[in-house]
Amino acid sequence: MSSEHPIGRRPGDPEVTRAAVLDAARSMFAEHGFEKATIRAIAAEASVDPALVLHYFGSKDKLFVSAHQLPFSPEDVESAIFDSDLDGLGERIARFYLSALAVPGSPAVSLLRATATHEEAAEMLRTFIDLTLMGPGLETVPGPDRRFRMSLVASHLLGVLFGRLILGIPELAESDLEDIIRPLATTFQRYLTDQI
Amino acid sequence: MSSEHPIGRRPGDPEVTRAAVLDAARSMFAEHGFEKATIRAIAAEASVDPALVLHYFGSKDKLFVSAHQLPFSPEDVESAIFDSDLDGLGERIARFYLSALAVPGSPAVSLLRATATHEEAAEMLRTFIDLTLMGPGLETVPGPDRRFRMSLVASHLLGVLFGRLILGIPELAESDLEDIIRPLATTFQRYLTDQI
DNA sequence: TTATTATTTCAACGCCTGTAGAGTTCTGAG
DNA sequence: CTCAGAACTCTACAGGCGTTGAAATAATAA
């Protein structure tokens, strides 16, 4: 069984091919983690030769980075979460992050999975948290320990994502997302605005 | 540069060698995850030939399983956590798990890391959670949704371990453990005994 | 139309992996 | 004291990996 396409440039828009590679990369990284998502498998999923992947992205590391641009901008988060009074803050955080990220194949899950074995992915995820949760909007949270409080929030979010999408704890994986958001909202509100 | 030891059986207790291999395996799995912890590296760390590792444990998978026996028995957990009144339950859980597991090189961290890319490790971690957190002691927690409540607790514990030891969120990694246990204790207590 | 460049496949490289089998030395049972 | 078996190393294989360079084709600029 030889390749699908003849050698040489194919007609049409190359951007389509490039996008297909990125899609395949995201899906493979999300499902298998960094090392087990092989360039060969990604290329196959995109119906493309492995060498083309490297032609576009240079190396597997760079491909990973390219495939994990933020799904939303830090400004989106700021306005969705912090641009209101403190009262509903916990709920807004829980709802925004879980509904955006707690879906199979989400780049966040891919990042989370790869984080476990790939320091570059860990760095990216730390940056993501820093830019979105620890950004300027955090200033509205009172107290000198606001970063620590927010890190408790982050840890719970991470744990839910991990337990639901990677580990597959049944009670987390099969519950309606709203049922998870509710108790988390209360916890987050307490972490951010109450005595802890 | 050839090997440290001559060929053939060496004098002394073989159990020492076997234990050294297990130690090396635990440390390598904890630091690098399943794929990147190679049999060759584990063998080198234990000053042993790679083939000896397989002689003892049969395969890399089986080695992983052997290296991750529970650090405490489910009965230990039951008595440490559930054999008192419900009042301090949240704090007992937070303190017991975090002080036992939130240390670098702990088998739990190794398991957590490997879980991300290795289904067998995920199965082991799910079983661990099932045996210890969801065991018979959970019956003392009121409400038909006690398993769901406990899964919220588990998710938070997972998230703290992940954030502190794998991802390396500074506020979690550098805080005194007691400062983390305190707010978690309150949250756990609420999850398990209050309206959520 | 022609020349250049970007896109694509092919074939191969060197490296590392888990694992198997054969050979060597020690231990312990009879 | 003998000898079967356990412990241990050496060598090697087969397969997969990321990556590279050359060749072929299409798009585009002159």
Q: How many CB pairs under 8 A join A and B?
A: 130
Q: Which residues contact A93 (CB under 8 A, 6 or more apart)?
A: A81, A133, A153, A157, A185, A188
The residue type at B104: P
Look at residue A133 and give its three-state secondary structure. coil
**From the CA of A35, how many Å to the C1' of D17?**
10
A161-192: per-residue pLDDT in tens?
999 999 999 999 999 999 999 999 999 999 99
Residue B2: pLDDT band (50, 70, 90) is very low
Residue B76's pLDDT is what?
86
What does the alpha-carbon distance between residue B191 and residue B150 come to, in Å, rounded to a whole number? 7
Q: Which residues in B lie closer than 8 A to residue A159 (C-beta atoms)?
A: 154-160, 162
**From the CA of A40, how many Å to the C1' of D15?**
14
What does the alpha-carbon distance between residue A46 and residue B97 come to, in Å, rounded to a whole number? 44
pTM score over 0.85 = yes
Residue B106's pLDDT is what?
83
What does the alpha-carbon distance between residue A118 and residue A33 come to, in Å, rounded to a whole number? 9
| Strand C nucleotides within 7 Å of a protein CB | 6-12, 16-27
Residue A3's pLDDT is what?
54
B102-157: per-residue pLDDT in tens?
988 788 889 999 999 999 999 999 999 999 999 989 999 999 999 999 999 999 99
Q: Which residue's CA lies closest to nucleotide C5 at its C1' atom?
A: A9
